[in-house]
Amino acid sequence: MKARILLLPGDGIGPETVLAARRVLECVEKRFGHDFDFSSALIGGAAIDACGHPLPEDTVRAAHAADAVLLGAVGGPKWDDAPVRPEAALLGMRKELGLYANLRPAKLFPALKGASALKPEIVERGIDLVTVRELTGGIYFGEHGYRTGSAGREAFDTECYAELEIERVARIAYELAEKRSRKVCLVDKANVLTSSRLWRKVVSDINEDYPSVQLDMMYVDNAAMQLALDPSQFDVILTSNLFGDILSDLTAAIVGSIGVMPSASLGATTVGMYEAIHGSAPALAGLDKADPVGTILSAAMMLRLSFDLDEEATAVENAVAAVLDAGLGTPDIGGTLGTIKMTDEIISRI
Ligand code: IPM
Ligand code: MG
C-alpha cells in the first residue's frame, strides 16, 4: 500500500527516536512491499528557533495532507520562557487534527519484569491494560487565566466536558474493550466534580449499547492506588484528559520504563498521530542513549490503526519483544546498547 507519513522530530531525543522508527518503517516497507512517502516538518522548540512559533502553519498543513503523523517529543529548558511554549504545539496538533482519543497501552514485556517499579509477586499476575484518555477537552482546553481577587492575584483553569465529547471517546474505549477482555473502568472524581458526574451518566447510557462489556467506575485516587496494588484487574481505563495524563505515567512505571510506552491519538478523521509517551529528555539528547522502543512501538500502532497493516505491526512488536528477550536494551531498562544499536537489533529481527 501507499501511505504518506509526516515525521515531526521536535526537540531533545525526539529526532533520534523518530529516526529509529523511520528506519523500522523503511524495513517494513521493503520486507512487505509497501510504498511509504516520508516528509518532515518543524514542531516545538525547533520550530520556535527556526520561525518563532512552535506550531507553524506549514506543519499543520502538512499534517492535514498526510495519512499519519509520527511525533518525537517537544520541549526543553531553552524554551521555558518562550511567549508560546513548545508544549502548546502538541496541544495545538491534537486540537487541529481533532484527535480526541489517546490510546496508551501498558503491556508488560516478560523480559522487563525486573524493571517494573512493582513487587515481583504483583508483576507476576501480568499487566496488559490500555488507558483511553480524552485528548481535546477538559481542563487542558477549558477557560483559564489570571484575575485579581480579594486575596491578591488569582489563577484559574476550568474543567468542562460536553456530552458529545464524552460519548465519542467512550465509544472508542468500548470498541477497544470488545476486542480485548471486555472490561471498561471509568476513572473520575464523581464524589467531588460535577463534570465527572456527567461522565458517569453518559457512559452508563452508552454501556447499554455494549452488552458484552462490563463497566466499572472508580475514583481517580483509588485508581492510582489500585494500579500500584494490582494492575492485573484493569483492561481498558477510560478517563479525562488530565487524569489520563497522570495515570498513564504511573502505568509506564509499572511496565518498566516510560521509554517503552507508545501511544496513538485518533479522532474524527483517519489521520492519526503517534508518539511515545515520554518527553524530550533534554539531558539525553544527542548522546545515543535514548530508548527508541516507545517511538518504534508507536510506529507499529500506526501500521495497525491508520493503515490496517496488522501483520506488519505484529512483526515489529515481535521483533521488539525478541530483542528484549535476548536481554538487550538501552540504559533506562538496565541495558548497555545505544539508540542506534538497539534499533539495528530490532530491524534485524523483523
Ligand atoms: C503527554 C505530555 C503532554 C500532556 C505535555 C507535554 C503537554 O505530558 O503527552 O502526556 O500533558 O499531554
Ligand atoms: Mg504526560
Q: What is the pLDDT of residue 246?
A: 97
What structural domains and CATH numbers belong to the chain? 1-99+259-350 (3.40.718.10), 117-254 (3.40.718.10)
Nearest residue (CA) to ligand 1, atom 4: 245
Among all bound ligands, the one having the nearest atom to the CA of 280 is 1
CA of 32 to the centre of ligand 1 (A): 34
Q: What is the pLDDT of residue 271?
A: 87
Evaluate: CB of 216 within 6 angstroms of ligand 1: no
Evaluate: CB of 67 within 6 angstroms of ligand 1: no
Instruction: Give the up-direction half-sphere exposure of residue 45: CA atoms within 13 A in the CB hemisphere.
Output: 19
Q: What is the pLDDT of residue 270?
A: 75
Determine contact, residues 36/306, Cβ cutoff 8 Å: no
- Nearest in space to 78 (alpha carbons), one of 303, 248, 285: 285
Per-residue pLDDT of the chain (350 residues; tens, 9 = 90+): 999 999 999 999 999 999 999 999 999 999 999 999 999 999 999 999 999 999 999 999 999 999 999 999 999 999 999 999 999 999 999 999 999 999 999 999 999 999 999 999 999 999 999 999 999 999 999 999 999 999 999 999 999 999 999 999 999 999 999 999 999 999 999 999 999 999 999 999 999 999 999 999 999 999 999 999 999 999 999 999 999 999 999 999 999 889 999 999 999 877 899 999 999 999 999 999 999 999 999 999 999 999 999 999 999 999 999 999 999 999 999 999 999 999 999 999 99
Q: What is the pLDDT of residue 318?
A: 98
Give the Cα-Cα-Cα angle 231, 72, 311 (nearest 5 degrees). Answer: 65
Evaluate: CB of 277 within 6 angstroms of ligand 1: yes
Q: For residue 76, how many other CB atoms are within 10 A of its CB?
A: 21
- Nearest in space to 171 (alpha carbons), one of 136, 213, 142: 213
Q: What is the pLDDT of residue 129?
A: 98
Q: What is the pLDDT of residue 269?
A: 79
Our mutation pick for probing the ligand 1 site, out of 90, 157, 261, 298, counting the most ligand atoms within 8 A of Cβ, is 90
Evaluate: CB of 249 within 6 angstroms of ligand 1: no
- Nearest in space to 73 (alpha carbons), one of 21, 26, 27: 21
Residues acting as catalytic residues? 140, 189, 221, 245, 249
Tell me the pTM.
0.95
